Structures are given as structure tokens and as C-alpha cells.
Amino acid sequence: MPLVMPAQRKPYTVEEVIKHNTPSSLWVIMNRKVYDVTAFHKKHPGGPGVLLQMGGKDATAAAAAAHKSILPANLMWEFCIGYIVRTKPQEEGQADNKPPVQKKAPSPAKEPSPRSHVEKAKSEVKSVTSSAPLDGLSDVTDADSPLAKARAKNKRRSPPSFLADVERMLTRPVMPTKCQDMNLQHQKQKPTSNAQAQAERGAEEGSSPEAAAAESPDMKPERSFTTIMEEMESDIMPMSDVDAVTAPEPPPSGGLLCFFSSTACWSGRPSVVQQVAHDDKAVADGFG
């Protein structure tokens, strides 16, 4: 029975493994690893036949389907003699008349590394911030803008994907009408112009907020990311300050009472928080 320690495992091509398909030399491939089951196949609890049938082939799917317990997986390492490569490192060296280069493991470039998700998120943020600014958000790309400063400030505790999501949410016009769904007595923000009221009615009748905003020139995102982030931070009021029956007094500017888990807060920009507030609607209603 071969017992090859991980460091001694060798690279094999599929072409090499195919040749080992007889009872006197029986290899199988599972999960890109090569197993020598020559001695084991006669003792295989599932019978020697299945292993003979899979000799020289990739048995990953067949073994996974047949094995119902973790015992086979725990035993398999004893029979592992190597791993699959496309081209043998020795062959590469011989072709160039160079000494063979010993590969340590299968090429890591093929497998996405855990860091690649972080890189993806970073590039996502880059693409959001480097794109042309949208209407009403001209400070989005300015390096000295309050947004850039807020980003620097929030860098540590705000994952890049979260920032990207918030920015995406802010770069589309949102109508305040949805807030009425929340049935909050404390919602003070009302349409301030005829155009806004008209756009609001349009949204209620089924047209999209974006379409309604397009028809109303004065309906556009009026605050920058920074302003909203700062307001959200400064408006957060600890639950201990909140009367359990009556909600806290709204700030002079008015706004929407929101409940983030155990914290009540006022926000002057309902559209930013309405999604979160929706999740906590039941809580909010209880205090309404």
C-alpha cells in the first residue's frame, strides 16, 4: 500500500494516469489528485469492481455520489500519490534545454484566491467613483470633496462594497412618497413644490420614481453622500433617550423617525434610510 507523504507527491498528466487501468496497476483521479488503489481495490468496501471500472479515469463524481459517510474521504489520503497537471514541469524544462523546475502545487492562478474578493470589491468602488458624476452629485469625483474626506473617515469601519452600495443608492433620484407606506405619524418631510407633489402623485399611480423625477426638474438628489453620512451619525439618538410610548421630538428640520435595531434616530433624508426602516417597520409602528 503506497503511503506517499504530501511533500513527496508528484505531478502527473491525465495521459499518464490513463495507462494505470489494470488490477496490477490501478490509479484513479479524484478532485485533481491521483490515487493508487492497486492494493486497496480488492479490500474496497464498495467492491473491487467499481474501482476497476474507474481505473485510469476521473472518479470524482462517482465517488462523491457513492460515498455517504466521511469515512472514505478520511481514508483516501493514504492512497494519494500525486496531483494532476496539464504539462509536466520536467517536460517544460527539457523542451527549453533547461534543468527541470519542480512545481510546488497546482497553479494558483486558476483558483480564485480569498483576496480576489477584496480586490474585486476595491475595483468596484474605483469604478463607481471614477465614473462621470451624475446630476446633482458633482462632488462625487472631486478629490478634495467632502465625500472624499468622509470616505477617508469611514474607511476603517465601512467595507468597500457597502460604500459602493450607498453611492449607487444615492446616485439615483428617489421620491419621498414611499415613506408614506410606513405610516409614521412623525414623518414631517412633505413635498415642497407643486412639481414635487405632481411627481409624487405620478409615483403613487405606478410610474417609477425615476420617471417622475425626470418630469420634475426640481426633483433630484439634493444632498451629497457626506452630508447624509454626517447627518445619520449626528442624528443617532440612544434608545435610553427615547420615551417608550412617545417618540423623540423631531429635529427642527423635520425628518423621518427610524429604528435601527435598538437605536432610534431622526433622518432628514427619508429616502436613504427607508429601506432599513422598512425592515424595522413593525418596531417603528409600535412606537408610532
- 63, 81, 164, 179: which one contacts ligand HEM (CB under 6 A)? 63
Query: Closer to ligand HEM at the Cβ: 61 or 95?
Result: 61
Tell me which residue of 7, 145, 151 sits closest to 80, measured CA to CA: 7
Whole-angstrom distance, CA of residue 95 vs CA of residue 27: 28
- Whole-angstrom distance, CA of residue 235 vs CA of residue 267: 7
- Please pick, from the candidates 9, 44, 188, 278, the single residue that binds ligand HEM as defined by CB under 6 A: 44
CB of 79 to ligand HEM, least distance (A): 4
Closest CA to 269 of 234, 232, 219, 233: 232
What binding mask, one character per residue, do residues 66-105 give for ligand HEM by CB under 6 A, x or -? Answer: xxxx-xx--xx--x--------------------------
Query: Minimum distance between the CB of residue 57 and ligand HEM, rounded to whole angstroms?
Result: 9
Are the CB atoms for 50 and 44 separated by under 8 Å? yes
- Helix 270-279 crosses helix 160-170 at what angle (to 10 degrees)? 120
Task: Please select the residue that binds ligand HEM; options are 5, 43, 45, 152, rule is CB under 6 A.
Answer: 45
CB–CB of 186/251 below 8 Å?
A: no
Give the binding-site size for ligand HEM (rule: CB under 6 A): 21
Nearer to ligand HEM, 57 or 278 (CB): 57
**What is the signed CA dihedral for 37, 42, 48, 52, rounded to 10 degrees?**
40
Q: Does 54 bind ligand HEM (CB under 6 A)?
A: yes
* Binder among 59, 199, 232, 258 for ligand HEM (CB under 6 A): 59
List residues near ligand HEM by CB under 6 A: 28, 35, 37, 44-46, 50-51, 54, 59, 62-63, 66-69, 71-72, 75-76, 79
